[in-house]
Structure 1
Amino acid sequence: MATYMGLGRFVYTPILPVMVEHLGYSKGQVGVIASSNFLGYLTGVLIGATPWIKGSRRAWALAMLALSAVTTGALAFFSSILVLSVLRFVGGVASAIGFVFLAALVIDRLTQAGRVGLLSVQFAGVGIGIASSAFMVSVMIRCGAGPYGLWLACGAAGLVSILLVALLIPARTDTPVAAAASGSRGGMINSAIIRIFLAYSLYGFGYVITVTFLVAIVRANPAIQPLEFWIWIIVGLAAAPSIALWNRIARKLGPKRTYALACVAEAIGVASSVLWQEPAGAILAAVLLGGTFVALTPLGIAAAREHAAGDPRIIISGISVGFGIGQIIGPIFAGWLFDSIGSFMPSTLAAAGALLVAAGLMLSIRPARV
């Protein structure tokens, strides 16, 4: 997860301002590149939901890890918006398929071992990946590295991680990827699942604008520019323990109410990134964003599993379609609006509003029937 998400996907955020500075891209252009990655993610999720992919979940997870690392490193050799978008698209496909298969693999193995509570450790890797890659990128930028050196370093780090993942996840017989369990809660699609799908879509839109442009927002404001080195590291450090924290809350409140609470907290962080342009406001935005956006993924999955039975791979893929759609729209919308009016304020406040609506949708769902 650290490599798939923290390195392969979210490292784009601290590198984005350097690309703008060195290559002369507009916010709209870097938004298109970001959205191409999210379009690839959506495509990968749809592929992962089909019965076409067969074989070992572990083998697919490792193969997609390699593809993610190669496409990340390849970004160093091109400056064309089209080529960069294609590479980010392929990387998004790889990260989505890898995420779906790795998450399903870990869920199955932890369930067999009676250690489902350890699922938070897997998702904590996202925050660890964000923090470690942000630190690496920040140090390299301070040493004068441009986007080419940064992408090469990220690709090389991804390739090294393949060996570590292969050692940490030993080969064994996995549940066939096409297997599906029968359920007693009305099948896969019902009114609750539709609301969860919509809430997950709004979450994708609500988090992605700030995740994509937070470092650029900090860099553009002289009052908080000194925090540029640290802001994405703070996001990663807040994300690492967030799932364990929100899981504890979920044991008392349940996944749906916890999801709603996390959405409200994230909305406050997202709004503060543009409404409170002081160091304290930027830090609050980083802490609340990092402390929620990773945790919302397993909370959404848990809520969906309460209301739909079946192969976890299919459940994860199904609700992630909406998430992917929200992610695609967000950066293009924010980048285009910035190029038009010179501000991230309207798009960011729209994102905060979307998160509040997502919270309301989750709270409107009735408890699942046993």
Structure 2
Amino acid sequence: MTKSSGRMGRLAVGGLLALAVGLGISRFVYTPILPFMEIGLGVSKSDAGLIASANYLGYLLGALLGIRQSLPGSTRSLFLLSLIVCAVTTIAMGLTDSFELFLLIRLLSGAASAFVMVFGSALVLSRLAAEGRSRLSALYFAGVGVGISVSSLLIIALENMGIGSQGMWIASGFLSLLFTIPVFLFVPAAPEPSGGEAASLPLQYSQTLKALILSYFLFGFGYIITATFISTLVRQIPEVQWMQSIIWLVVGLGAIPSVALWSGIASRLGNSRTYAIANLILAIGVTGSVMGEHPLILILAAVLLGNTVIGLTALGLVEAREMAPHHGRQILAVMTLAFGIGQTIGPGFAGFLYDYFGNFIVASLLAAAGLVIACLLTWGLDGKKQGNLAPPSD
């Protein structure tokens, strides 16, 4: 192994740990902890949806703010600070039982998670591409699945020890702090971008680009209901209540190889067609999560959820960058906005429908229908470049 290879390997591992903290734990550990919050704190389904939506609204606002060039501080300092905020806000969730504080904490946590993604991509992915090591981006994105899996094992262990939701939040936050330590060592500062090529013409929204943006909104709406409530769904079925923590572990394990898998498929079929297929497969998983009570059906739904979401996120950004190659930052902001609106609406919408119908079936079927529409919107798009699955930089 050359010195450069070792350096890039450590960089990818540092990025993996950062995504494990910023997304796998800070953003998604809410899902396996939620059933215990409902039991111990009396959180209703509608309140649970609003708490989740607050986090996704924070992610949306943080992502849009993170794209701005005029933020104070270096990319690395903002990145590391955001990791610490992710850990601290996770701990803070275990120090209160106030619904209003839950909303505020999750809003801040969501913004910090977005900063981790935006600045982590700038520090890790662009450098991997510059060194000709873009294949390591799959290792970087595996961090989301690693964070989900490790935090799921932690929740299972704490449940067996009789520890409630507040202890679960605190332990997850300290796990995040532990994961953050190597990131300081493995992800050094990178040269600040000069701004790249300035586009001489405004971004043109072609019909194909509009279709992709709409599909990304539908993807954000379509995945998030199941991603937020799948542990709660399992808990409601007496025969499979034993799976309530394990099911989120399955999601995490499915997410770890997802970008590498969909990257290989995209290299053969193209980004846009692969993106359409992945939306359809995710729709099957979302439907299966509410239409079947057999353990194997629920496990399959969890695998499909974990295996498609991260790949779809990357594929959508790649396809958008190919359609607007001279407006990379602008189209990233637009795609983030569309995705963020969809995933912000989803949990609250599902929570209120649950209060009305007494189940998540209607909300989940509407989400699945949205994913099918996303598939139809993008099936015929002609992505002429094959692209790398790493989100592009200017």
TM-score where L is the length of structure 1:
0.95
Per-residue deviation, 1:162: 2.0
Q: How does 1:1-370 map to 2 (within 5 A)?
A: 1-176=19-194, 179-182=195-198, 187=203, 189-310=205-326, 312-368=328-384
CA contact (8 A) 1:58 1:101 kept: yes
CA contact (8 A) 2:123 2:190 kept: no
Counterpart-to-counterpart distance in 2, 1:356 and 1:287: 18
Counterpart-to-counterpart distance in 2, 1:174 and 1:157: 30
CA contact (8 A) 1:42 1:320 kept: yes
Per-residue deviation, 1:366: 3.4
Q: Secondary structure at the match of 1:223?
A: helix
CA contact (8 A) 2:273 2:380 kept: no
Q: Secondary structure at the match of 2:293?
A: coil
**Alignment CA distance shift 1:106-1:303 (3 Å):** same
Q: Secondary structure at the match of 1:175?
A: coil
CA contact (8 A) 2:270 2:383 kept: no
Per-residue deviation, 1:240: 0.2
CA contact (8 A) 1:61 1:97 kept: yes
Structure 1 equivalent of residue 12 of structure 2: none
CA contact (8 A) 2:87 2:177 kept: yes
Per-residue deviation, 1:191: 3.2
CA contact (8 A) 1:209 1:348 kept: yes
CA contact (8 A) 1:235 1:290 kept: yes
Q: Which amino acid letter does the alignment assign opposite residue 362 of structure 2? A: P
Per-residue deviation, 1:182: 4.2
Counterpart-to-counterpart distance in 2, 1:257 and 1:62: 36
CA contact (8 A) 1:184 1:309 kept: no
Counterpart-to-counterpart distance in 2, 1:189 and 1:225: 48
Per-residue deviation, 1:142: 1.6
Percent of aligned pairs with the same residue?
42
Q: Secondary structure at the match of 1:304?
A: helix
Counterpart-to-counterpart distance in 2, 1:27 and 1:76: 19
Counterpart-to-counterpart distance in 1, 2:325 and 2:237: 48
- Which deviations, in whole Å up to 9, do the C-alpha atoms of 1:283-336 show, x marking residues without a partner? 110111111111111111111111112475544332111111011111001100
TM-score where L is the length of structure 2:
0.89
Q: Secondary structure at the match of 1:272?
A: helix
Task: Write out the 4+ residue segments of structure 1 that deviate beyond 4 Å after TM superposition.
Answer: 182-186, 310-314
Which stretch of structure 1 is more off in the superposition, 277-286 or 308-317? 308-317
Counterpart-to-counterpart distance in 1, 2:297 and 2:385: 42
Which stretch of structure 1 is more off in the superposition, 116-125 or 279-288? 116-125
- Which deviations, in whole Å up to 9, do the C-alpha atoms of 1:118-152 show, x marking residues without a partner? 21111111001101111101110121111111111
CA contact (8 A) 2:271 2:383 kept: no
